[in-house]
Chains A and B, each alone.
Chain A
Amino acid sequence: MKYCADTWFILEAFAKNTAAISLIEETRRGKVRIIIPIIVFAESHKKLMQKGISQKLIDDFFEGVEASEKVELILIDKAIAGEAARISHSYTVPLIDSLVAATSKLTGCDILLSEDSDYNLLVKSRYIKKHSW
């Protein structure tokens, strides 16, 4: 199973939510892959700093991500940017949500891990599947 992580998932993981931790543990066993869009890296990084998480712990976490073969940071390329623009325009979705959804779609993820109701129209149109707890 291949998941795309929205900022919600990173925040849940750092808040030690058991479902989020289990999913990261599953990647270690090779059963699961997690994609992290670069915009999620920026947004969650900023929010974690605002919540008092030290720069070192944030760096340690994302160094683990960069070294992992099962968890991957995805940069915004021309295809993702163009797709995000189309989604944002067609479904009136904020651009950050559009970049996350486009990354999820174009990297072939099965599920987007997010609790954001702004994706609901994309889910209804079967553009993405979403999961939260």
Chain B
Amino acid sequence: MRFTHALITEKVRLAKKGQITIPKSIRDEDGLLEDDLFIVTHLPGGDLVLRKQQEKQPEDLMLEAIMKAPSFDAKEAWEEVKSERRRERS
């Protein structure tokens, strides 16, 4: 594991509606901005881990669409495409 900066520990207080403020030093260090999304994980021992959600890359959208698609016979589909192409030639 490679650390890009020293360990930072700061105390924060839970405010109304369960809000906490990430200290400015950490926001600046990690370039955190308003509307960034985070995933909060509650560990069995009671610790909370706050992890910034990585933005999806376009290729992830492509792969997600593929994974959600119902299965079909690609070989049969391709044979149909080829016969349609050849029909055009004749």
Contact = CB atoms under 8 A, between A and B. Distances in A.
Interface of A: 7-8, 11-17, 21, 24-25, 27-28, 43, 47-48, 50-54, 57-58, 60-61, 63-71, 92-97, 115-116, 118
Nearest to B89: A94
B70 to A, nearest CB: 6
A47 to B, nearest CB: 5
Contacts of B60: 28, 64
A50 B71 CA distance: 13
Contact of A68 (B59, B67, B82, B85): B59
B65 interface: yes
B66 to A, nearest CB: 6
Interface of B: 57-74, 77-78, 80-82, 85-86, 88-89
A68 B80 CA distance: 29
B58 A17 contact: no
A21 B88 contact: no
Contacts of B88: 94-96
Contacts of B89: 92-95
A67 B72 contact: no
Nearest to A63: B61
A21 B59 contact: no
Nearest to A67: B58
A58 B12 CA distance: 46
The 8 closest A-B pairs by CB, nearest first: A15-B74, A64-B61, A64-B62, A67-B58, A68-B58, A61-B65, A60-B65, A28-B59
B39 to A, nearest CB: 21
A27 B74 CA distance: 22
A67 B67 contact: no
B72 A52 contact: yes
A116 B73 CA distance: 17
B79 to A, nearest CB: 10
Given A58-B65, A115-B78, A96 B85 contact: yes
A21 to B, nearest CB: 7
Contacts of A58: 65
